[in-house]
């Protein structure tokens, strides 16, 4: 009997061939001047078209949204045309692909910002983090707080990026609301000290996210829109005084948008799945009425059991997809996995990017 993990699923408007998802993975191989993807990206994503859904690497919605060297954008016609080569190739290979819409907020450096300006944030609080620039890893720059009247512009940047994603032939978009980036910075108390309608109460702190979702789902219906959240993750120097309360409110509000899915980082991003006292992931999961995508530290056995038990509808895998372009097939066949070369994770060329062997390559070899 085929395990549920390897069976098809309707995810909003997307017909996924299986429930194994390629999670977004920043690889820093875009052209740093144009923020466009290239032929390497076509090969990389097409190799991974066996996933039920591919979620692209985080992709900035505007020049202001950029926080790392050589990450791609989705706000110009040139970027959309470059991504169209990727989506066409993935579709030809039978795959589905959505683009993750990203604004880094304060996790940036002046050298990466237009005219060397300060990064923006809900409040002028510097992150105790480093980011990847032309000089290597550097301390993030001091941000400035967005003015209240600027926030509508940021929301429209998400809408424009969604228009460009449609033009680029994507199957949908994923709003990045996780991992200490701009939307998460507004949601959580450590980074949001505002005294206007976007700060203070949980209703106010959630306002930006909900305005973004309202606007994006008007541009492209909710069946084409996913959302990523990381309620309990400290990624990028972030925290909340009561994350359980915050995200119970947030997730209840999500149900009005009829989203394609909710993509949840369970625990600390790329780290422990353990939760602190008072953190109840199961309750958050149960509050969401749509398709639930689980992520963080899943192996084959845990993924199979989680989907089989109904605790998740889909499971997203990150790092295993770097070294295993045919991960879904390997998991279904219980085949051994390639080990990734961490030296080539960020930046570089085809080495450690498109040269990992598939099972078919191994059998021929």
Predicted confidence at residue 363, as pLDDT, reads: 64
Q: How far is Cα 323 from Cα 341, in angstroms, rounded to an integer? A: 8
CA distances (Å), origin 58, targets 1, 74, 173, 221, 338: 36, 10, 11, 21, 24
Per-residue pLDDT tens over the stretch 54-77? 999 999 999 999 999 999 999 999
pLDDT at 156: 98
Instruction: Show the low-confidence residues of the chain (pLDDT under 70).
Output: 362-365
pLDDT digits (tens, 9 = 90+) for 307-356: 999 999 999 999 999 999 999 999 999 999 999 999 999 999 999 999 99
Q: 0.95 cut: is pTM over it?
A: yes
CATH of the domain at 252: 3.20.20.70
Inter-residue contact 107 to 65 (CB < 8 Å): no
Catalytic residues: 181
Neighbours of 218 (CB within 10 A): 11
Answer yes or no: are the C-beta atoms of 252 and 210 closer than 8 Å: no
What gap in Å lies between CA 124 and CA 105, rounded to an integer? 11
Q: Which domain holds residue 89?
A: 4-364
Number of independent structural domains in the chain? 1
pLDDT of residue 50: 98
Phi and psi torsions of 317, nearest 5°? -115, 130
Tell me the C-alpha distance between 266 and 231, whole Å.
8
């Amino acid at each position: 009997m085929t395990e549920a993990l390897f069976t098809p699923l309707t995810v909003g408007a997307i017909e996924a061939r299986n429930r194994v998802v390629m999670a977004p993975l920043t690889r820093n191989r875009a052209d740093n001047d144009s923020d466009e993807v290239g032929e390497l990206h076509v090969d990389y994503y097409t190799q991974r078209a066996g996933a039920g859904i591919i979620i692209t690497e985080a992709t900035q919605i505007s020049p202001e949204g950029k926080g790392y060297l050589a990450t791609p954008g989705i706000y110009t016609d040139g970027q959309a045309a470059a991504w169209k080569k990727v989506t066409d190739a993935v579709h030809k290979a039978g795959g589905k692909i959505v683009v993750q819409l990203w604004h880094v907020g304060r996790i940036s450096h002046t050298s990466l910002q237009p005219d060397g300006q300060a990064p923006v944030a809900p409040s002028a609080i510097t992150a105790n983090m480093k980011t990847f620039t032309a000089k290597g890893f550097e301390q993030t720059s001091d941000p400035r707080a967005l003015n209240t009247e600027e926030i509508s512009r940021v929301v429209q940047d998400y809408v424009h990026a969604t228009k460009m994603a449609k033009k680029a032939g994507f199957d949908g978009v994923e709003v990045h609301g996780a991992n200490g980036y701009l939307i998460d910075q507004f949601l959580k108390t450590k980074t949001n000290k505002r005294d206007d309608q976007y700060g203070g109460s949980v209703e106010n702190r959630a306002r930006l996210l909900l305005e973004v979702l309202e606007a994006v789902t008007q541009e492209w219906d909710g069946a084409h829109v996913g959302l990523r959240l990381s309620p309990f993750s400290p990624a990028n120097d972030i925290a909340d005084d009561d994350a359980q309360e915050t995200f119970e409110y947030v997730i209840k509000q999500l149900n009005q948008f009829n989203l394609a899915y909710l993509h949840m980082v369970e625990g600390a991003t790329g780290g422990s799945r353990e939760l602190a006292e008072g953190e109840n992931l199961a309750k958050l999961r149960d509050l969401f009425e749509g398709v639930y995508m689980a992520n963080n530290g899943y192996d084959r056995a845990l993924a199979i059991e989680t989907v089989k038990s109904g605790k998740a509808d889909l499971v997203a895998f990150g790092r295993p997809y770097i070294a295993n372009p045919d991960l879904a097939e390997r998991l279904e066949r219980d085949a051994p996995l390639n080990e990734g070369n961490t030296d080539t994770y960020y930046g570089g060329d085809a080495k450690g990017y498109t040269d990992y062997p598939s099972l078919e390559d191994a059998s021929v070899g």
